[in-house]
């Protein structure tokens, strides 16, 4: 039976007494956020020696922009909580949690900026009045946000003797009690349905903002700005999610899935046009390669549930194959095939290796399969290292690798030369970024069509319970072998492009774990961090896990330690990943309400 709480007289009196502090807390948070925004237009230090030049009045610079974003979100969410017309759509899932997280974004970024100024310039004496004002304003906003009342209702406990139907009803009542409590403070209702054209415009606007955020993160010129970007982006995304905006955008993209896919492709294709420095274009193409390989691994790990610790070897197979047949002077074959033939051979070679490795090993499960795949990855690296004409046949030039891989020339278009398009000069790495983007689109289409097919449903069944799936007539070995071969093929496609981008393919690029991705450990972490079984999850996770180590190289030998601690904390707070599959999210969070029909595996 459910134990409900009645509105007794003392509780009613307490509610009336708490109404004034609640309004004061809401006003503190909103006013603190607004004052934080204003303080970003003041000087925070007296000298331009600190990166970003925070000495200017009337115009933000450097880390001030990030604090401004946190303060603006706090202000907007605070105003939305009052039910102001035109802003109510900002918080369809409630404002209080969003206010707290956005206030934390402003406070932590401010604290980090003040500490960085103090460390770089030698003490708090180097702060101008604007630096103290923003510190006080962000603290006021956080204290007000933290004082917003939310009392979790008393929930019922399940009886071990209850039937599954009684447990389901009990869980539904508990979830409904939590939802009522979260919306008890007069938060706005969900917005009305919009015309299809307006929804498409919203998708386009969000994708444009996403492109801007990604470009800003990639092009951060100094470490202080990148760390501030991580703080603001992390808490800001969490605030948008708690407000319900991420769920609303996800629903729009599901409704207009083809439009969202084309829009995402166009937004990504616009990235090279925003770059004038090959340094950031190089980082962009490598991020795309890593994210694409992570999406291929998602078929094996996310959909099928097979723990593959040697997946980076398939990337190496594709890269070595393409390098050996593309006219490299170090190749013993002496052939120069066109790129389209080299990429097909690279994918085919990876598929063959996937079948050869998977056929004798996929009858294993769990930890045993993980150990075997880990061994395959090390065997591949050692074999490539020994095929130098001394320890073995002269095939891969040993530790020196296959160097001198020529630029791609596809249908007369030289990817190694600069090209002018609509007044924009597109350099070598920008050309390869667009080429890799086309490969990514192919991988996305393959993943999507496979996940929604009969074989995709069989993969999910194997992942959930292999014994039950086989009892229902699914050939578990054949289904897993198809997943293994398809994942290897997609990695081979990316590897063929990687060989031409980097000019050289060496064995040390394909290890299990080191501080520089791509490697098997980072690929697996990208799938889990982004969200297993989804399309956008591994792409986002791969982008983050490639960009962060490249930007945090100043940490030196402590880089992996800090990175590992961050992953542990994130997995503790959000085990389903940044962009979770709905099924996995329901399994990891029992307090969520299950929809009548779960989304498809690849949604």
If we measure between CA atoms, which residue out of 516, 510, 483 comes closest to residue 379? 510
Contact at 8 Å (CB) between 406 and 501?
no
Domain boundaries, the chain: 15-149+182-248, 270-588
Contact at 8 Å (CB) between 377 and 512?
yes
Give dist(CA 343, CA 140) in Å, integer: 58
- pLDDT lower than 70: segments of the chain: 1-20, 150-193, 276-277, 422-423, 515-516, 556, 582-603
Contact at 8 Å (CB) between 436 and 318?
no
- pLDDT for position 17: 44
C-alpha gyration radius of the chain: 27
Contact at 8 Å (CB) between 95 and 243?
yes
CA atoms 108, 109, 111, 112: torsion sign: positive
* 180 contacts: CB under 8 Å, gap ≥ 6: 153
SS3 602: coil
Residue 383: Cβ-neighbour burial (10 angstroms; 0-12, 13-18, 19+) = middle
The CA dihedral of 378, 384, 387, 392, to the nearest 10 degrees, is 10
pTM above 0.75, yes or no: yes
Which 8-state DSSP code applies to residue 265?
A: H
Give dist(CA 245, CA 253) in Å, integer: 12
Q: Return the biggest CA–CA distance within the chain.
A: 90
If we measure between CA atoms, which residue out of 262, 137, 279 comes closest to residue 207? 262
SS3 208: helix
- pLDDT for position 113: 94
- pLDDT for position 196: 80
- pLDDT for position 89: 81
Q: 425 pairs with which residues across the strands?
A: 420
- pLDDT for position 163: 63
* 438 contacts: CB under 8 Å, gap ≥ 6: none
Contact at 8 Å (CB) between 96 and 29?
no
- pLDDT for position 488: 92
Give dist(CA 231, CA 247) in Å, integer: 22
The CA dihedral of 192, 196, 201, 202, to the nearest 10 degrees, is 30
| Strand 424-426 versus strand 419-421 pairing type | antiparallel
- pLDDT for position 466: 84
Contact at 8 Å (CB) between 397 and 403?
yes
SS3 402: strand
Contact at 8 Å (CB) between 599 and 586?
no
The DSSP string of 233-256 is HHHHHHHHHHHTHHHHHHHHHHHT
Which CATH code is given to the segment(s) 270-588? 1.10.3470
């Amino acid at each position: 039976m459910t134990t409900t709480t009645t509105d007794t007289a003392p509780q009613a009196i307490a509610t009336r007494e708490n109404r004034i502090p609640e309004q004061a807390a809401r006003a503190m948070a909103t006013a603190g956020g607004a004052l934080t925004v204003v303080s970003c237009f003041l000087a925070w230090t007296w000298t331009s020696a600190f990166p970003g030049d925070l000495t200017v009045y009337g115009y933000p610079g450097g880390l001030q922009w990030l604090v401004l974003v946190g303060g603006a979100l706090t202000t907007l969410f605070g105003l939305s909580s009052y039910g102001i017309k035109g802003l109510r759509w900002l918080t369809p899932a409630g404002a209080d949690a969003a206010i707290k997280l956005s206030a934390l974004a402003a406070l932590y970024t401010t604290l980090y900026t003040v500490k960085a100024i103090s460390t770089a310039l030698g003490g708090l004496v180097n702060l101008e009045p604007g630096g103290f004002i923003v510190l006080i304003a962000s603290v006021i906003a956080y204290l007000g946000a933290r004082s917003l009342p939310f009392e979790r209702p008393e929930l019922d406990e399940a009886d071990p003797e209850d039937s599954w139907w009684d447990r389901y009803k009990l869980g539904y009542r508990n979830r409904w009690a939590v939802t009522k409590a979260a919306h008890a403070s007069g938060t706005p209702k969900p917005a009305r349905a919009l015309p299809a054209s307006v929804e498409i415009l919203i998708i386009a606007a969000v994708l444009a903002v996403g492109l801007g955020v990604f470009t800003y993160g990639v092009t951060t010129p100094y470490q202080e700005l990148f760390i501030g970007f991580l703080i603001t982006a992390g808490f800001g995304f969490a605030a948008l999610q708690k407000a319900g905006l991420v769920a609303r955008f996800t629903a729009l993209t599901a409704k207009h899935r083809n439009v969202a896919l084309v829009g995402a492709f166009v937004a990504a294709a616009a990235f090279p046009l925003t770059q004038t420095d090959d340094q950031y274009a190089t980082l962009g193409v490598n991020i795309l390669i890593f994210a694409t390989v992570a999406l291929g691994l998602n078929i094996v790990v996310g959909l099928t549930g097979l723990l593959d610790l040697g997946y980076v070897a398939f990337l190496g197979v594709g890269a070595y194959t393409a390098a050996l047949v593309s006219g490299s002077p170090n190749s013993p074959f002496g052939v120069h095939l066109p790129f389209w033939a080299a990429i097909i051979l690279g994918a085919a070679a990876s598929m063959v290796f996937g079948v050869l490795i998977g056929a004798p090993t996929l009858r294993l499960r769990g930890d045993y399969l993980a150990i075997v795949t880990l061994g395959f990855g090390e065997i591949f690296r050692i074999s490539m290292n020994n095929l130098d004409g001394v320890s073995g046949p002269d095939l891969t030039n040993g530790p020196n690798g296959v160097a001198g891989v020529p630029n791609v020339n596809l249908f007369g278009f030289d990817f190694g030369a600069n090209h002018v398009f609509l007044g924009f000069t597109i350099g070598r790495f920008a050309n390869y970024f667009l080429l890799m983007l086309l490969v990514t689109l192919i991988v996305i289409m393959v993943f999507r069509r496979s996940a929604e097919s009969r074989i995709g449903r069989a993969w999910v069944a194997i992942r959930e319970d292999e014994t039950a799936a086989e009892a229902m007539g699914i050939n578990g070995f054949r289904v897993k072998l198809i997943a293994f071969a398809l994942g290897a093929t997609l990695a081979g496609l990316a590897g063929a492009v990687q060989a031409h981008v980097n000019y050289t393919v060496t064995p040390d690029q394909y290890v299990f774990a080191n501080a520089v991705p791509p490697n098997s450990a980072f690929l697996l972490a990208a799938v889990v961090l982004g969200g297993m079984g989804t399309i956008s999850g591994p792409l986002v996770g791969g982008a983050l896990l490639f960009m962060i180590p490249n930007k945090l190289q100043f940490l030196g030998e402590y880089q992996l330690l800090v990175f590992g601690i961050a992953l542990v904390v994130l997995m503790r707070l959000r085990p389903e990943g940044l962009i979770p599959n709905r099924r996995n999210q329901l399994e990891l969070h029992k307090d969520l309400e299950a929809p009548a029909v779960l989304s498809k595996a690849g949604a």
